[in-house]
Structure 1
Amino acid sequence: MVEDIGVTATPLARSSGGPSGLTRQVEHALEPAREALVPILSDPLVVGVWALVVLACVGVLWWDLWSNNEPLGSMMKGVWTLVVAYSGPFGLAVYWYTGRTQIAHDSLWRRGFRSTAHCYSGCGAGEVVGIALAQGILALTVGWVAAVTFGFAYLFGYALTIGPLMQDGVGFKEATWDALLSETPSITVMEVFAIGTDLLLAADAHMGELLFWSALAFSLSIGFLVAWPVNVLLVRFGVKGGMSNPAEMRESASTAD
């Protein structure tokens, strides 16, 4: 019926049975971006080069972590590994600017980046699991894909906050409440944009297609970018701590030696 009147529906529209109202307007506004990005993200050469760049960035990160930044805790080393694995050179640049013990001074912007990176590592893992399960394996409709992916993103994001708090002696109830207050705004903003971007670009893609994975990686970085100012505000008003200053960890390690 759509083709009969000369209109081509987007993958998201076809998968969801046709959007309406605001959703249709947003899709229409973003259609030029989708048409430009999908061929790039589907190109085997582009995806192959990107994969090699990401591997190189992870290698540089690991070399720096274990050669120059040993005082960083194992959790933050894992966080930065996931950030760089998701976003390649962009993630490495964020680490270099905010996460090394060699930073000259700390700032609100750096604390916001570290807070976003912490949230991003857990939510990104949840999004990968959710999209792979709901869309790639179960082939659910768009609404269910979004719901399942949101659920996994929240679960992983909260767990990455609740777990360390409980290790520090905080009770489960208090740790859960703290995670809900501090993480919900940033997780919500991050996943609205990340999941929305992924479904806009690859709602019809299957796990065997390059677009499925490249759109997922691209959407994760979009989520990081839009969540950063939210985390800056949360840190600014004391809702979140912004993670420890890595330079202080270096000083503590030097004092201990």
Structure 2
Amino acid sequence: MNGPWRTAANATLHCLTGCAIGEVLGMVIGTSLGWSTWPTVILSIALAFLFGYSLTIRPVLRAGVAFGAALSVALAADTLSITVMEIVDNAIIVAIPGAMEAGVGNWLFWVSLAIAFAVAFVVTWPVNKWLIGRGKGHAVVHKYHHEHSQ
């Protein structure tokens, strides 16, 4: 795997990490409380964006950037990636028969999430490569990682 694709894979993995934390938390909360599909999906998406942006904003803040500017960087870096990932993984989870009703103690719940995340990664990876190739997406964040490590 060459440089740009490797960088995009790392950016996609970063996005997946934040999305997965929020998504799993939202799905566990929603299904545990017996919520119907759409309120659970909405909570999962909201938490995925929250955790996704949080993972990006942390190193930018550590680099000494003010909160407002760091938030702008995170929004610019992650919005398209998180959006694509959330559309794909939630569409898959909703499409798998019984996944939303399975509950956290059922293997179908967890296997459905794993499948959804795997497919979402594959679909989002070229999106991140395209963004990074144009100096957008996680390319915007890399300079803050570098500044912090000096």
- Normalised TM-score (structure 1): 0.52
**Where does residue 129 of structure 1 map in the other structure?**
25
By how many angstroms is 1:243 displaced? Answer: 7.2
Deviates more, 1:171-180 or 1:234-243: 234-243
Q: 2:131 aligns with which of 234, 238, 244?
A: 234
* AA in 1 matched with 2:30: A
1:198 deviates by 1.3
User: Aligned-pair distance for 1:133?
Assistant: 0.7
The CA RMSD measured in Å over matched residues stands at: 1.7
Report the Cα distance in structure 1 between the residues aligned to 2:104 and 2:19, rounded to whole angstroms.
20
Q: CA deviation at 1:230?
A: 0.8
Alpha-carbon distance, 1:242 to partner: 7.8
Matches within 5 A, 1:137-148: 137-148=32-43
Q: Paired residues, what number? A: 140
Q: Could you tell me which amino acid in structure 1 is paired with residue 134 of structure 2?
A: F
Greater helix content: 2
Hey, what does 1:24 align to over in structure 2? Answer: none
Distance 1:176 1:212 in 2: 33
Identify the match of residue 186 of structure 1 among 81, 84, 91.
81
Alignment correspondent of 1:211: 108
Q: Which amino acid aligns with 1:109?
A: W
d(CA) in 2 for partners of 1:110, 1:207:
34
Aligned to 1:220: 117
Partner of 1:61: none
Which aligned runs of 4 or more in structure 1 are off by greater than 4 angstroms?
none
Q: Is the 8 A contact 1:165 1:175 kept in 2?
A: yes
The percent of aligned pairs where both chains have the same amino acid is 36
Say if 2:77 and 2:140, in contact at 8 Å, map to a contact too. no
Asked if the contact 1:119/1:187 (under 8 Å) is kept, the reply is yes
Query: Structure 2 stretches of 5 or more lacking a match?
Result: none
Q: Distance in 1 between matches of 2:21 and 2:127?
A: 20
After superposition, where does 1:104-183 map in structure 2 within 5 Å? 107-135=3-31, 137-183=32-78
Scaled by the length of structure 2, the TM-score of the pair is: 0.87
CA contact (8 A) 2:15 2:52 kept: yes
Which deviations, in whole Å up to 9, do the C-alpha atoms of 1:90-123 show, x marking residues without a partner? Answer: xxxxxxx5xxxxxxxx521111111111111111
Tell me the distance in 2 between the aligned counterparts of 1:217 and 1:117. 14
SS at match of 2:101: coil
Shift of 1:144: 0.6
CA contact (8 A) 1:112 1:229 kept: yes
CA distance in 2, matches of 1:222, 1:192: 11
Q: Do 1:111 and 1:242's aligned partners in 2 also have CA atoms closer than 8 Å? A: no
Deviation digits for residues 132-186 of structure 1 (CA, Å, limit 9, x no counterpart): 1112x11211111111000000000000011110011011100111111110100
CA distance in 2, matches of 1:238, 1:203: 38
- CA displacement at 1:203 relative to structure 2: 2.0
> Is the 1:207–1:213 Cα contact (8 Å) retained in structure 2?
yes
Distance 1:125 1:155, change over 3 A: same
